[in-house]
């Protein structure tokens, strides 16, 4: 194997390290068959609050661009901007991290529409490459980045829609290598389509806020690092969620949230009992599937049938207590089936809001052994533009 292929293999291992958990291989309909895609950083929750609660149907905040951009049309503030930092795989290395910047602005005086944007930068650190003799080649610094622009609009007093256009760029950092196969930075374009509904309803003597959300994200082209000879699917994803906010009294509120996620690209075929020719034909058909037909195929193509399709759904459950909309305590649980990655963890966190500034932090506690994401921290800052203008008057 030449030195470039060695690096590519290492890079893919780092990118999909969260799928290393063991699985039962005795039942032919239940075996370890995770959904592997390109640009894995697109699936990393960027902010501390949403990483605990899920975000398809929670109230709008600065980071709705990732969770559900349609929510911006219901944002209370005229504008906002947020910055978040996440050290990634910190139990293994100390130089992999995600930086995410997002913001929005509501247009006109009616507050029925908004524009939004975000920038994402995922550094995979520095990787020292050597040849077969151990001689130094270069220090590769691979990274992934994306930039997007969105628009949201209230369709009715309780329903909004949002759309996002995204440009994606991934550089494996191998351009300085000589010899072997040629690999280049890859790029792709994708879009999101989202809807959000909220309304008040009476439960007992309390007027509660119900939220329902849907976001189909990262639907677009494939990405290639060898000028189209081979291609990888983007992490197209369908997120559906619900949220219920209870006012306990004039100062205390409690919200309960649930999100369900389903990847919308094909499931790899089960090649365990195939001949070499059959295996090659099945894999060729899989990798040659076009992204848009792959979206529809993803709901009925799992080798294990309906049971495996259901196993491909991951779940987020979260709760948030707020005092006077200034102090927040949160807790949540994420579940992914063992045969689809086995990401299972609790997360806890807190937040504090003062005038125009909100600070949030979250902490991940794995419930399965040997999870490299255990003890992951996220830090988020949010700035309310209305609050900033009030301070400057």
Query: Which residue would you say has higher pLDDT here, 173 or 189?
Result: 189
pLDDT digits (tens, 9 = 90+) for 335-358: 999 999 889 999 999 999 988 899
Percent of the chain scoring above 70 in pLDDT: 85
At 277-305, the pLDDT tens digits run 999 999 889 988 999 999 999 999 999 89
Task: Please choose, from the candidates 124, 106, 134, the residue with its C-alpha nearest in 3D space to the C-alpha of residue 3.
Answer: 134
Domain residue ranges in the chain: 3-392
Average pLDDT, the chain: 86
Exposed, middle or buried, 296 (CB in 10 Å: 0-12/13-18/19+)? exposed
Rounded to whole angstroms, the Cα distance separating 9 from 13 reads 6
Return the pLDDT at 6: 42
So what's the pLDDT on residue 4? 46
Question: Which pLDDT score, from 0 to 100, does residue 223 have?
Answer: 93
**Beta strands 206-220 and 186-203: pairing type?**
antiparallel
Is 239 a residue whose pLDDT tops 80?
yes
Compute how many other C-beta atoms are within 10 angstroms of the C-beta atom of residue 293.
10
Q: What is the pLDDT of residues 213-237, one digit of tens each?
A: 999 999 999 999 887 788 999 999 9
- pLDDT the model gives residue 182: 64
Buried (b) or exposed (e) across 101-110, using 16+ Cβ within 10 A? bbbbbbeeee
The residue that leads in pLDDT, 182 or 275, is: 275
What is the chain's length?
A: 393
Name the pTM for this structure: 0.88
**Burial class of residue 117, CB neighbours in 10 A (0-12, 13-18, 19+):** middle
| pLDDT number for residue 204 | 86
Residue 281 CA: distances (Å) to CA of 229, 285, 307, 364: 17, 6, 25, 41
Cα 233 from chain centroid (whole Å)? 15
Residue 32: predicted pLDDT: 85
Query: In angstroms, rounded to a whole number, what is the distance separating the alpha carbons of residues 286 and 198?
Result: 39
Query: Residue 135 has which token pair?
Result: 């001689």
Q: Which range is most confident: 2-6, 13-17, 147-151, 341-345?
A: 147-151
pLDDT of 168-182, one tens digit each?
Answer: 999 877 665 555 456
| Residue 68 confidence (pLDDT) | 97
Residue 355 has what pLDDT?
81
Sign of the alpha-carbon dihedral angle for 340, 342, 346, 350: negative
Is 2.40.160.40 the CATH classification of the domain at 3-392? yes
Residue 21 has pLDDT above 80, yes or no: no
Task: State the pLDDT at residue 130.
Answer: 64
Q: Is the pLDDT of residue 9 over 50?
A: no
Q: Which of residues 27 and 134 earns the better pLDDT score?
A: 134
**pLDDT, average across residues 45-68:** 94
Asked if 391 contacts 355 with a C-beta cutoff of 8 angstroms, the reply is: yes
Going by pLDDT thresholds of 50, 70 and 90, the confidence category of residue 134 is: low
**Per-residue pLDDT at 29:** 46
Q: What is the pLDDT of residue 137?
A: 63
Q: What is the 3-state secondary structure (H, E, C) of the chain?
A: CCHHHHHHHHHHHHHCHHHCCCCCCCECCECCCCCCCCCHHHHCCCCHHHHHHCCCCCCCCCCHHHHCHHHHHHCCCCEEEEEEEEECCCCCCCCCEEEEEEEEEEECCCCCEEEEEEEEEEECCCEEEECCCCCEEEEECCEEEEEEEEEEEECCCCEEEEEEEEEEEEECCCCCCCCCCCCCCEEEEEEEEEEEEEEEEEECCEEEEEEEEEEEEEEECCECCCCCCCCECCCCEEEEEEEEEEECCCCEEEEEEEEEEEECCCCCCCCCCCCHHHHHHHHHHHHCCCHHHHHHHCCCCCCCCHHHHHHCEEEEEEEEEEECCCEEEEEEEEECCHHHCCCEEEEEEEEEEECCEEEEEEEEEECCCCCCCCCCEEEEEEEEHHHHHHHHC
For residue 22, what pLDDT is reported?
Answer: 40
């Amino acid at each position: 194997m030449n030195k470039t292929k060695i690096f590519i293999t290492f890079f893919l291992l780092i990118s999909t390290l969260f799928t290393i958990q063991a699985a039962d291989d005795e039942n032919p309909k239940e075996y370890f068959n995770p959904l592997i895609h390109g640009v894995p950083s697109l699936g990393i929750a960027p902010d501390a609050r949403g990483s605990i609660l899920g975000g398809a149907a929670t109230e709008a905040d600065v980071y709705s661009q990732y969770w559900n951009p349609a929510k911006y049309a219901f944002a209370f503030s005229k504008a906002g901007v947020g910055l978040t930092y996440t050290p990634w795989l910190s139990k293994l290395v100390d130089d992999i991290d995600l930086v995410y910047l997002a913001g929005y602005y509501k247009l006109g005086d009616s507050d029925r529409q908004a524009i939004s944007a975000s920038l994402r930068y995922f550094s995979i650190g520095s990787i020292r490459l050597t040849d077969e003799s151990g001689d130094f080649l270069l220090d590769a610094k691979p990274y992934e980045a994306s930039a997007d622009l969105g628009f949201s609009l209230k369709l009715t007093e309780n329903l909004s829609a949002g759309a996002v256009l995204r440009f994606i760029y991934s550089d494996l950092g191998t351009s300085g290598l000589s010899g072997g196969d040629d690999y280049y930075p890859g790029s792709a374009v994708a879009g999101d389509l989202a809807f959000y509904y909220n309304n008040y309803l009476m439960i007992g003597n309390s007027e509660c806020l119900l939220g329902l959300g849907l976001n189909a994200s990262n639907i677009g082209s494939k990405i290639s690092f060898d000028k189209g000879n081979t291609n990888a699917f983007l992490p197209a994803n369908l997120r559906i969620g619900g949220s219920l906010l209870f006012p306990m009294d004039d100062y205390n509120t409690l919200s309960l949230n649930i999100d369900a996620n389903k990847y919308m690209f094909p499931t790899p075929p089960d090649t365990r009992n195939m001949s070499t020719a059959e295996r090659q034909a099945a894999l060729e058909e899989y990798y040659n599937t076009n992204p848009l037909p792959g979206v529809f195929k993803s709901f009925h193509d799992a080798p294990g049938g309906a049971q495996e399709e259901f196993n491909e759904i991951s779940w987020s459950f979260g709760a948030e207590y707020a005092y006077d909309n200034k102090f927040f305590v949160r807790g949540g649980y994420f579940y992914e089936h063992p045969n689809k990655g086995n990401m299972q963890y609790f997360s806890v966190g807190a937040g504090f809001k003062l005038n125009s500034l909100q600070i949030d932090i979250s902490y991940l506690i794995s419930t399965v052994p040997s999870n490299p994401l255990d003890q992951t921290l996220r830090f988020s800052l949010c700035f309310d533009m209305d609050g900033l203008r009030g301070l400057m008057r």
